[in-house]
A = this chain, B = another copy of it.
Amino acid sequence: MIERAKVAVVGVGNNISALVQGIAFYRASGSLVGIYRPVVDGLGVGDIDFVAAFATADSKVGKDLTEAIFVAPNNFPRIGTELPPSGVRVERGLTDATGVDRVAKALAGAEVMLYAAPSGRPEVARAYAEAALRAGVAFINTTSDVVARDPQWMELFEAAGLPLLGDDLTSQFGTSIVHHTLLRLLEERGLTLVSSYQVNLGGTEDFRNLAQNGSGKKQSKLNALTSHQSTVDKVQMAPLGYLSQLQSEKVAYLNIEAQGWGETSVSLDVKLKAHDPSGGAGVTIDLIRMAVSAFRNGRGGYAAEAATLLKSPPGTAR
């Protein structure tokens, strides 16, 4: 029987709540519902143990990981599993480059560090990456901060024989992929796009942050749609709407207006509703297993099989 992966997490937000609860749920139930890859290099979705956790909020530090994931502003629901205490106490996380050694020591026994703090603090992200290097563990960056797509950092991990996977998570099933798929279908069938828009509403803390300074995200979302510039030019994004009532759910409205034979009109309206953190956890579970597998096989640096799970893999413009 395979040895479970040993993971340290940074950030104890909704995505980690979904991840921790989901792993416990699948381990207890044996269910395979909603799973992308049941097994990755011998590791099932239940074959993950958490060995350390870091967070900056006073309300989370000191609690068991399985308690801390339910502390506000986290609002991902309990998915109904009995959740036995993890035995992992949340430690105080870094707010700058100070304390790298302390973190490195705390990584004893870990195989991979999962960096899942809020985006927007690149120096903190790199302090954790530095700690991972010193401790000799793999590093996964699920945020949009630049780490894996910085060639200098990639060289350091390659030289150390340690995996470095990032940056920025795609969602298992989100607005971008549905919109992209429908626009591509139109093109394949010879219809001509007239106009299209996308409205995104959400209720998580992550979503609130994005809604407040969302212009970069907006362009990144447009980029995600398609490579045909003629299509992108016709797609418009409404401003992100933070609605606390949605809790951890995300709602998207898509509209597509096109023309078919004889320039007659074709229209498509879509409403998509999903739990945002589930979409992240469903992809993170694969990155963890890929990183651990590479770590155990001594493959340092980037792992190409992670490419479809990342928005900004190495080689992407910053």
Contact = CB atoms under 8 A, between A and B. Distances in A.
B268 A18 contact: no
Given A181-B182, A261-B279, A275-B265, A172 B201 contact: no
A70 interface: no
Interface stretch (A98-106, A240-248, A296-304): A240-248
Given A190-B172, A243-B197, A266 B274 contact: yes
A261 B37 contact: no
A285 to B, nearest CB: 7
A173 B191 contact: yes
A196 B196 CA distance: 25
Contact of A33 (B259, B279, B281): B259
A238 B244 CA distance: 11
B251 A278 contact: no
B279 A260 contact: yes
A191 B178 contact: no
Contact of A172 (B21, B191, B196): B191
- Tell me the number of copies of this protein: 4
Contacts of A25: 262-263
A208 to B, nearest CB: 12
A186 interface: yes
Secondary structure dominating the interface of A? mixed
Contacts of A172: 189-191, 260-261
Interface string A164-197: 0000000011000110011001100111100111
Given A185-B177, A190-B37, A239-B241, A271 B269 contact: yes
Contacts of A285: 261
Interface centre among A191, A251, A273 (most CB of B within 10 A): A191
Nearest to A195: B245
Interface of A: 18, 21-22, 25-26, 31-37, 79, 172-173, 177-178, 181-182, 185-186, 189-192, 195-197, 199, 201, 211, 234, 236, 238-239, 241, 243-246, 251, 253, 255, 258-275, 278-279, 281-282, 285
Closest 9 CB pairs of A and B: A36-B190, A238-B241, A261-B282, A22-B262, A195-B245, A261-B278, A264-B275, A266-B274, A264-B278
